Structure 1
Amino acid sequence: MLLRLPTSLSEAQQCLAEGAVPVGGATLVWALWQRDGFPEQAMSLRCLPEANVIGREALGAAVLLHQADARLPEVLRRAASTVGTGAVRRTATVGGNIVGSTLRCLLPAALALNARATVLDRDGSYETDLAEVVSKRHLLLGLRWQAPVTSGYHKAAAEPGGPPPLVVATAVHAGSDGRHHLTVAVRDGYEVVSGTTPCHTGSEQALHSLDRTDLGALPSTARDAVRREVTGVLARSAGS
């Protein structure tokens, strides 16, 4: 197998046009390739500058999970720190986790941040929403968002080999009118749902509004966790 390492978007486009299979850290596909056969050529974005950004409002798809640091909002940093083992986090990439993984541990955090995705195809790069990235399995270049006022992340304890643990990701954002709004994203099993509400009137009103979104259909244990996380993140935002 030939591994191609483009250093520009035009070179990456050419790799795609020539049939190179995108691969991140290969933590998810290596075993499948060993079983089913390796592709003739693969492409990694680890040398592409646009895919290696780490900042207050941006994260590249080729960034390794263990590289997620204090430059990122708390919700995204903590989400990355809980994926797998240390060995996995030193190999797995942001793009591989969001697009290639069935668990998509970073997806709730990205949704809570109202992140937009930049993707690449044979015609060039463009911005889209995360729902399209996940459903169509686009080649992700990176994520961008507006820095939140504050954010939080909760991942329930889970038995090894058991069902995916509950995840609740929260972020408070400042609107153009100066009022805050809250976005909550929850992974329950393999499904991820989210909701947004104004939160300047307090946690009880925010929770009542969130019950009218997709979050209202969650089971009681998940809704209890949402209540705890929303109450906590709004208390922190009041002091920000």
Structure 2
Amino acid sequence: MLLRLPTSVSETQEYLTQGAVPIGGATLVWATWQRDGFPEHAMSLRDLPEANTIEPETLGAAVVLNRIDDRVPEVLRRAASTVGTGAVRRTATVGGNIVGSTLRCLLPAALVLDARAVILEPEGVTETDLAEVVAKRQLLLSLRWNTPITSNYVKAAAEPGGPSPLVVAAALHAVAGGGTLLRVAVRSEDEVFSETAAYHGDAGETLSTLWDGSLGRLPVPARELVGRQVTELLARPGGR
């Protein structure tokens, strides 16, 4: 297997057209390749500047999870800190977790930030909806979002080898022209649910709005965890 390490977008684009397979941190694909055979050409974005950015409103797809710090919102930082072991977080990347993984621990966090995906296609760089990137497994260069007022994230304990642990992410955003909007995303049994609700100072009213949407179909333990996370978030000084 020939591993390509592009240092520019144009070089990355060239390798894409040649059929190079993006590998992220290779934490998920290595075992599969050992079993099924390695591709002729693979490509890592670890030397591409555009994919290694860590800023208050941008996170590169090639950033390894243990590098994610307080430059990004709490919800993303907490999400990254719960992925696997320390050894996994030193290798696994943002793009690999969101696009290449079935668990996608970072996806709920990105959804509540209303993040947009910057991707590279053979035609060039473009910005698109995150759900489309996940569905089509496109080459992610980075995530972009607007800084929330406040945010939080929790992953419930889970038995080894059992179902995927329950994840709840939430973020409160300022709305142009005044007001605030709460975004909540939940991963339950490998399915991700997300809802938004206006917040006018009454946490109970906001939760009722969330239950009227897809979150109302969650099992009771998941709803209870959502309720605790939302109540805690809205009780913060920034949420009042």
Aligned to 1:75: 75
The answer on 1:34 being equivalent to 2:34 is yes
Tell me the CA shift for residue 236 of structure 1: 0.9
Tell me the CA shift for residue 237 of structure 1: 4.5
Aligned to 1:65: 65
CA distance in 1, matches of 2:139, 2:100: 10
Tell me the CA shift for residue 28 of structure 1: 0.5
After superposition, the C-alpha distances for 1:56-79 in whole angstroms (9 at most, x for unaligned) are 111000000000101010000000
Which consecutive residues of structure 1, in runs of 5 or more, have no partner in the other structure? none
Once the two structures are overlaid, the 10-residue window that deviates more, 107-116 or 193-202, is 193-202
Which consecutive residues of structure 2, in runs of 5 or more, have no partner in the other structure? none
Aligned to 2:139: 139
The residue type equivalent to 2:185 in the other structure is A
1:111-150 matches, within 5 Å, as 111-150=111-150
Q: Secondary structure at the match of 2:27?
A: coil
CA distance in 2, matches of 1:4, 1:57: 28
The answer on 1:199 being equivalent to 2:196 is no
Aligned to 1:46: 46
**CA, structure 1 residues 192+23, in 2 after alignment: closer, same or farther (shift >3 Å)?**
same
C-alpha contact (below 8 Å) 2:98/2:106 kept by paired residues: yes
Tell me the CA shift for residue 201 of structure 1: 3.2
RMSD (CA atoms): 1.0
After superposition, the C-alpha distances for 1:92-131 in whole angstroms (9 at most, x for unaligned) are 0000000011100000000011101011111111111111
Q: Secondary structure at the match of 1:63?
A: coil
After superposition, the C-alpha distances for 1:155-205 in whole angstroms (9 at most, x for unaligned) are 101111111110000000001122111000000010001000111231011
Length-normalised TM-score, structure 2: 0.98
C-alpha contact (below 8 Å) 1:172/1:237 kept by paired residues: no
Q: Secondary structure at the match of 1:171?
A: strand
CA distance in 2, matches of 1:238, 1:171: 11
Q: Secondary structure at the match of 2:235?
A: helix
Tell me the CA shift for residue 55 of structure 1: 1.0
The answer on 1:96 being equivalent to 2:96 is yes
CA distance in 2, matches of 1:238, 1:64: 30
CA distance in 2, matches of 1:19, 1:130: 23
The answer on 1:13 being equivalent to 2:25 is no
Aligned to 1:213: 213
Aligned to 1:230: 230
CA distance in 2, matches of 1:125, 1:216: 38
Aligned to 1:177: 177
The residue type equivalent to 1:140 in the other structure is L
Q: Secondary structure at the match of 2:102?
A: coil
The residue type equivalent to 2:168 in the other structure is V
Length-normalised TM-score, structure 1: 0.98
CA distance in 2, matches of 1:239, 1:202: 11
Tell me the CA shift for residue 238 of structure 1: 4.2
Tell me the CA shift for residue 225 of structure 1: 0.7
Q: Secondary structure at the match of 1:3?
A: strand
C-alpha contact (below 8 Å) 1:150/1:237 kept by paired residues: no
Q: Percent identity?
A: 67
CA distance in 2, matches of 1:96, 1:69: 18
Runs of 4+ in 1 over 2 A off after TM superposition: 237-240
